[in-house]
């Protein structure tokens, strides 16, 4: 049995790569595409500095790495745990299994705020980890 370190995996509701990024950006601009996790982690052009700092705090305080994955970049296990439920945050357990940690409704409640997202994650960590 393989032992992994527990980690969080954010699944964007968008595809990666040039075509995926441009498609999401234009769709978001005209109001036909939305990804609440994207709103938390990114400004229109790059990752938010505030989110990068939060990732570092999470690693330092809880030894939890946060990976961010586009829909077309998911592993088979990430796909199985998240398909049709994007955007979301999964928890990968030490045994490699995955479970939903934050769903799309909870991410939407953060309204793009890194601070709100952090409070929500911290409350979950306090309860479950």
Give per-residue pLDDT as tens, 30-77. Answer: 877 789 999 999 987 789 999 999 999 999 999 999 999 999 999 999
- For the residues 112-125, what does the mean pLDDT come to? 97
Q: Spell out the domain ranges in the chain.
A: 7-128
How far is it, in rounded angstroms, from Cα 15 to Cα 12? 8
Q: Could you say which DSSP state residue 62 is in?
A: H
**Phi-psi region at 63: left, alpha or beta (left = phi > 0; alpha = psi -120 to 50):** left
Residues found in the chain: 129
């Amino acid at each position: 049995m393989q032992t992994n370190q527990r980690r969080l995996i954010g699944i964007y509701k968008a595809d990666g790569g040039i075509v995926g990024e441009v498609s999401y950006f234009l769709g978001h601009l005209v109001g036909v595409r939305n990804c609440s996790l994207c709103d938390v982690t990114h400004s229109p052009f790059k990752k938010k500095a505030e989110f990068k700092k939060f990732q570092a705090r999470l690693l330092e305080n809880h030894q939890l790495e946060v990976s961010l994955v586009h829909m077309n970049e998911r592993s088979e296990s990430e796909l199985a745990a998240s398909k049709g439920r994007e955007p979301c945050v999964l928890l990968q357990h030490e045994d490699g299994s995955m479970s939903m940690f934050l769903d799309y409704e909870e991410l939407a409640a953060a309204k793009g705020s890194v601070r709100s997202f952090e409070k929500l994650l911290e409350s979950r960590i306090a309860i479950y980890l």
